[in-house]
Structure 1
């Protein structure tokens, strides 16, 4: 049985991202996956890595629990909006606090290389944005997608990382929204 952890990084429970995360879970539940949905807004943690890596900041119980869930997961699904080209502050703070050295990666002594401690896992990014996809890719060069895929997940050994983007949301009519939700539910059913 595949273990899937869905992480909704949108701080508003009335958002499209909230609905998309629920749709993915509906599909994964239908496929009989062991699936859990976490809304970051429900967790109790300080999103600021107060001392960088100079000094250890103790993890709150919710973050210790989520590290266990990430370790147990075969597939991670991140659902979030693109704001100012990348992810919201809540998701960025979560990454800063959770994807730490000795959990997600380990620097090698006297080397520029590192060990990827989350190998064997796959991921899907489900991202909403108001910028048209072609503009985000050609003009902005997909900064948020690259940061999550290459700068975080692949850096820690998670591969492949697939991306599903929905845009522009602000001009999407109810029929388009319904199709987005059905597409994400289908991804959940396929456990992708």
Structure 2
């Protein structure tokens, strides 16, 4: 499988980066190919410009033509051809970092990720990718997340974004609490990443 990979954390030595590196190494060992993007390292601009603003009737060719920024065009092309998605990011205020939210605005657009032909707001997913793994770091305890907050990241990825882009199978993994965690705990979490990648993407021969 060809997998599009994103990590969104401003510090290159973050645990998110360690998770992403571990996941990508596991996927490569399993025989997959990967297109990887570190949004902060690339200085990805999260702001959708007037010139590249989309319309609901765009085709893929039109969506690519609107991407006057070559970095944006590469992301749209990469997402359009990938068979799987790997995303690693922290939970900040119950949402992805702004740079990743802006990535959604600029990349997951009509013609690339979905088509909207009726007025009922129900899009047709266009992505070739059928499976996604989203890994989050967090400092919120699970019970408080469910009781007080309603797990907004699960809603964002699992109900508001991926299903409408054509992704049929989604898994979200959370490592927490990261603050105060021991080295042994983090190493254990990194070992778990291999299993999550295998269960979500399998091996290239599967």
- How does the TM-score come out when normalised to structure 1? 0.89
| CA contact 1:74–1:121 (8 Å) conserved in 2 | yes
What SS is found at the alignment partner of 2:144?
helix
1:112, 1:38 → 2: CA distance? 30
The equivalent of 1:4 in structure 2 is 3
What SS is found at the alignment partner of 1:181?
helix
Matches within 5 A, 1:3-152: 3-51=2-50, 58-118=67-127, 120-152=129-161
1:165, 1:82 → 2: CA distance? 9
1:131, 1:188 → 2: CA distance? 24
2:45, 2:37 → 1: CA distance? 17
2:75, 2:30 → 1: CA distance? 23
1:6, 1:120 → 2: CA distance? 12
- Distance apart, 1:36 and its partner CA: 2.9
- Distance apart, 1:61 and its partner CA: 0.9
| 188 and 3 in structure 1: CA distance in 2 versus 1, 3 angstrom threshold | same
- Kindly indicate whether structure 1 or structure 2 has the higher relative contact order, using CA contacts under 8 Å at least 6 residues apart: 1
What SS is found at the alignment partner of 1:148?
helix
What are the superposed Cα offsets for residues 55-100 of structure 1, whole Å, 9 maximum, x if unpaired?
x974411121112211221110110000011111111111111111
1:156, 1:59 → 2: CA distance? 23
Q: Which runs of 5+ in 2 are unaligned?
A: 56-62
- Distance apart, 1:53 and its partner CA: 5.4
The equivalent of 1:169 in structure 2 is 178
| CA contact 1:132–1:167 (8 Å) conserved in 2 | yes
| CA contact 1:44–1:62 (8 Å) conserved in 2 | no
What SS is found at the alignment partner of 1:153?
helix
Greater than 3 Å deviation, 4+ residue runs: 50-54, 56-59, 109-112
| CA contact 1:9–1:90 (8 Å) conserved in 2 | yes
- How does the TM-score come out when normalised to structure 2? 0.84
RMSD: 2.1
- Distance apart, 1:170 and its partner CA: 0.6
Q: Which runs of 5+ in 1 are unaligned?
A: none
